[in-house]
Amino acid sequence: MTTVLTVEPAEHTGPQTDTRIPLDQLAALGAAELTAALYRALPGEESGQVPVAAFNSSI
């Protein structure tokens, strides 16, 4: 068992991505765009309320 501090640069056996976009470039996309693209992964924004479709023939 490892019960000691390990601070060496992590040997990279973990997940690898083909296109690693730097954090600052990701941040430039803005929170709204970033989270919109991750909608499947985030808890529902309507807090349990079901979104509904609005009447077509009025505005």
Q: Which residues bind another protein (CB under 8 A)?
A: 1-12, 14-27, 29, 31, 34-43, 45-46, 50-59
For residue 40, the minimal CB distance to another protein (Å) is 6
Phi, psi (rounded to 5 degrees) for 27: -60, -30
For residue 24, the minimal CB distance to another protein (Å) is 4
For residue 21, the minimal CB distance to another protein (Å) is 7
CA 29-33-52 angle, 5° bins: 175
Q: What is the Cα–Cα distance from 1 to 42, expressed in whole angstroms?
A: 35
